[in-house]
Amino acid sequence: MTNVAVVGSQWGDEGKGKVVDWLSERADVVVRFQGGHNAGHTLVIDGKVYKLNLLPSGVVRGKLSIIGNGLVVDPWALLDEIDRIAEQGIKVTPDTLKLAENVPLILPLHGALDRAREEASGSAKIGTTGRGIGPAYEDKVARRAIRVCDLADDEMLEQKVARLLAHHDALLRGMGQPPIDAADLLAKLRALAPRLLPYATVTWALLDEIKRAGKRILFEGAQGAMLDIDHGTYPFVTSSNTVTGSASTGSGIGPSGVGYVLGITKAYTTRVGSGPFPTELHDDIGQAIGDRGREFGTVTGRRRRCGWFDAVMVRQAMKVGGVHGIALTKLDVLDGMDELKICTAYRCRGETLHHLPASQARQAEVEPVYESIPGWKESTQGARSWKDLPASAIKYIRRIEELIETPVALLSTSPEREDTILVHDPFEN
């Protein structure tokens, strides 16, 4: 029996929410460890759709859920999400949700700055959600963030707000904008404190108790490996570390407590926003994949860019993330296609590459080297065992395993919770 970390192996949107929900039945605790409300996890349970941004997916099953210190949290968005999910019959209380006391807060000024920068960047924009995640992480690293624990100390809060605004007001002046009203911001934070602080606790100590008690912990990542601030397609990345190592630093449990790593991997490739995408399809096939896969961002509603499976990129994510097995999702979207393609290498400036280069210029220039494989006419939607899969679909899966050098542990064949084929239980590693 072991703890399990779930991470995305592409550019996010791989179907982590459904897989985490499915695995959470076997877990005692679910922990979010990085990102913010730029994440969007969609769960479909008995035809009912739950859309989560900050809340760990375990809340839908009533599991103890923890928001770790590696996130940045918009407190108003969190409380709104708690209220919204309550309307769907899911009650979240301080007994079922724990918030790390040292989580940095996303303030209204962060979102305003995020959106202003994107607008000013024009065609060079990164494609952020505009929700303030990047500026909030900047303040964290610069040691001027307002954290949850600061709401309990009014005198310290005033000092920290003053220091924060000394920086942001200078930025605003440079952009021709008026300064932040310090009194208004303090009033909003003071009004927030009584409702938010009951959720706050020393989550690293709680996780240590849970681990020593032998309970199963499920670590839920957001975004994907290619959006990692260090290992992704920089600068078109998110502002946090999305790879497995962040499960430790973003929760405080220590590397030895993580255990099995499950990489969520879509059977094709998608991306939201700007940045390189070697296997992107600009034709009718790409359009059809997007339509069939309902590829629209949970958070932004933007249509996702679609393309063939990129084994080079995913293999790189396996290595960097220390992934033990993958959960392959959305196989059913490829049903009915005569031919499928898999990217097995890149060409760039006369070279053949088996990794995605770090250089922004070279990333923009790489061209995919494809291998063709026959498609299948039969439906895989809703399959719950290998015998329900067409032979060509199994051949496609096996070839992916070979190319990414990682086995399939789970196979998801629809958004529904139970339409899942278990090959290897990650908790029984």
Residue type, 404: I
Peptide bond into 104 cis (omega under 30): no
Catalytic site positions:
13, 41
| Contacts for 239 with CB less than 8 Å, ≥ 6 apart | 133, 134, 136, 137, 138, 229
CA atoms within 13 A on the CB side of 54: 31
How many other CB atoms are found less than 10 A from the CB of residue 235?
11
CA 206 to chain centre: 24
- Tell me whether strands 64-67 and 97-100 are parallel, antiparallel or unpaired: parallel
Q: In angstroms, rounded to a whole number, what is the distance separating the alpha carbons of residues 185 and 250?
A: 27
Question: Concatenated DSSP letters for 139-183?
Answer: HHHTT---BGGGGG-HHHHHHHHHHHHHHHHHHHHHTT-PPP-HH
Chain centre to alpha carbon of residue 153: 32
Q: Could you give the C-alpha distances from 249 to 24, 86, 245, 267, in angstroms and in order?
A: 21, 31, 7, 30
Can you read off the two tokens belonging to residue 189? 């934070």
Number of CB atoms found within 10 A of residue 90's CB: 17
Q: Which of 259, 200, 263 is nearest to 19 (CA)?
A: 263
Rounded to whole angstroms, the Cα distance separating 400 from 147 reads 43
Locate all alpha helices (DSSP H) within 90-153, ordered by sequence.
108-121, 133-141
Contact (CB, 8 A) for 109 and 76: no
The Cα–Cα gap between 328 and 5 comes to: 16
